[in-house]
Amino acid sequence: MSRAGTLALLGGTPVRTAPWPAWPPVNDRIRAAARSALDSGRWAISGPVRGGPSLQQQFAKAWAAFNGVRHAVPVSSGSSALLLAMEALGVGPGDEVIVPVWTWVASASTVLRAGAVPVLADVSPDNFCLTSASIAAAITPRTRAVIGVHLHQSMMEMAPILDLVRARGLWLIEDCAQAHGALYAGRRAGSFGHVGCFSFQQTKPLTSGEGGAVITDDADLAERIFALHADGRRLARPDPVTGLELAEGPGPMGANHAMTEMQAAILLAQMEDSALDRRLSHTAQNAAWLDGALAKLGPLHALVQPAALERRTVFEYIIALEPWVTAHVPSARIGVALSAELGAPWYTSDPPLHVSGLYRPETRPRFAGRAGPARRPGDFPVAEDYSARTLVCHHSVLSADRAAMTDIVNAFDKVLNQLGDLEAAAGSAA
């Protein structure tokens, strides 16, 4: 075999050496916005007013409008958003909250922080999100809420889930940390449940390094969330002496879950001139094209998306390998070989929570007795099966052009045709 045909991991020529789009997406507009926030003399919502409304209030307005809801509260992280949503809805001690077993640990650890018990439920083999059936099977008389996660690059099938939570009187909190701007039946992710929660951590499709937001149509709920994120304070006319616009309010006692003005500036700059929406559309189109092109290679399966999902948001593009492939060579090793071909990381998704080293309530005394039912390998077969035979890449890779997508297909083709070499090399290295 020629050197060009040899796997890059084994010393051959890689499929692609050209660079990929940079992430985070810094540009002159974002630099100028951050600079202007730095120079403004107001770095926090708890700082004195300088001229017009705070950048956080401007972002709140823009984010609510983008999502087609009435209210948004910017906060310090996606975890804060989830915690505040539960606290504002009155979820706490004695309550159970249903959480998908396949998600980032914060979807469940925030339930513990709210004082409630996370109850894990398996996901759909089609799109790796909760289903109405898996939620229904996990409901007990103590269930108060569902944290529905729109994972990787899909959304939950909303219609049956909305019917179920209405019929059973449960709160629905949409965890949209990975689904900014996804469109389902003409509405955005996060606008279906009682609240929608977003993360703006560095890897997310809209980012300020760290950060988050809660959205809702319910004015009272928005007010409670605002108070909870600002040490119990509400927005008021600036104090004539101090210039502060946060005043003691009649609402609940809170804590500090605020973001900074610099973060709000960076977020607003990414939304200007519909730049965010254009980027999300571009990655969604590339994802749909990749689904078709990769499936033609044979041993790869794309997600089966809900029919009403008009535009997915890609956080991580995910593709499943046939079980015989990973029986031969573990998915992580295939990811390493692909990464060497492409010069961009392809990796396995985080493991499901019941086997995750990050989800260990028993290591924190304050969570004692609230770990929920025992978690054992084998308990959540769908999540376990697919997490062992899927590969993901970051959405920034899909911001590249169509020629780059062809490189991805060629790299998969090359690696899948040389599984024997990969296996043999692993064997001789062992």
- Residues forming the active site: 204
- Which residues partner with 148 through β-bridges? 174
Nearer to ligand PLP, 257 or 311 (CB): 257
87 counts as binding ligand PLP under rule CB under 6 A: no
107 counts as binding ligand PLP under rule CB under 6 A: yes
* Phi-psi region at 249: left, alpha or beta (left = phi > 0; alpha = psi -120 to 50): beta
Q: Give the residue among 316, 318, 402 at the shortest CA–CA distance from 23.
A: 316
- Please name the helix (run of DSSP H) or strand (run of DSSP E) that holds residue 429, with its range, or none: helix 419-429
104 counts as binding ligand PLP under rule CB under 6 A: yes
Under DSSP, is residue 101 helix (H, G, I), strand (E, B) or coil? coil
In 113-259, DSSP assigns E strands to 117-121, 143-149, 171-175, 183-184, 187-188, 195-199, 212-216, 233-235, 246-248
Q: Which residue is nearest to ligand PLP (CB)?
A: 78
**CA 76 to centroid of chain Cα atoms:** 15
197: its two tokens? 């929660």
Q: Provide the angle, in degrees to the nearest 10, between the axes of the packed helices 28-39 and 261-271.
A: 150
Q: Give the residue among 339, 318, 335 at the shortest CA–CA distance from 326.
A: 335
Q: Which stretch binds ligand PLP (CB under 6 A): 5-13, 26-34, 55-63, 104-112?
A: 104-112
- Compute how many other C-beta atoms are within 10 angstroms of the C-beta atom of residue 206: 22
47 counts as binding ligand PLP under rule CB under 6 A: no
**Residues in region 126-185 near ligand PLP by CB under 6 A:** 149, 175, 177-178
Q: Please work out the total of residues on this chain that contact ligand PLP, with binding judged by CB under 6 A.
A: 14
Nearer to ligand PLP, 156 or 293 (CB): 156
Closest approach of ligand PLP to the CB of residue 288, in Å:
22
- Compute how many other C-beta atoms are within 10 angstroms of the C-beta atom of residue 347: 16
Nearer to ligand PLP, 251 or 361 (CB): 361
Closest approach of ligand PLP to the CB of residue 167, in Å:
26
Question: Among 33, 83, 98, 106, which residue sits at the site for ligand PLP (rule: CB under 6 A)?
Answer: 106
- Tell me the backbone φ, ψ of residue 148, rounded to 5 degrees: -95, 120
Question: Among 79, 216, 260, 331, which residue sits at the site for ligand PLP (rule: CB under 6 A)?
Answer: 79
78 counts as binding ligand PLP under rule CB under 6 A: yes
351 DSSP 8-state letter = P
Closest approach of ligand PLP to the CB of residue 317, in Å:
15
208 counts as binding ligand PLP under rule CB under 6 A: no
Q: Which residues bind ligand PLP (CB under 6 A)?
A: 77-79, 103-104, 106-107, 149, 175, 177-178, 199, 201, 212
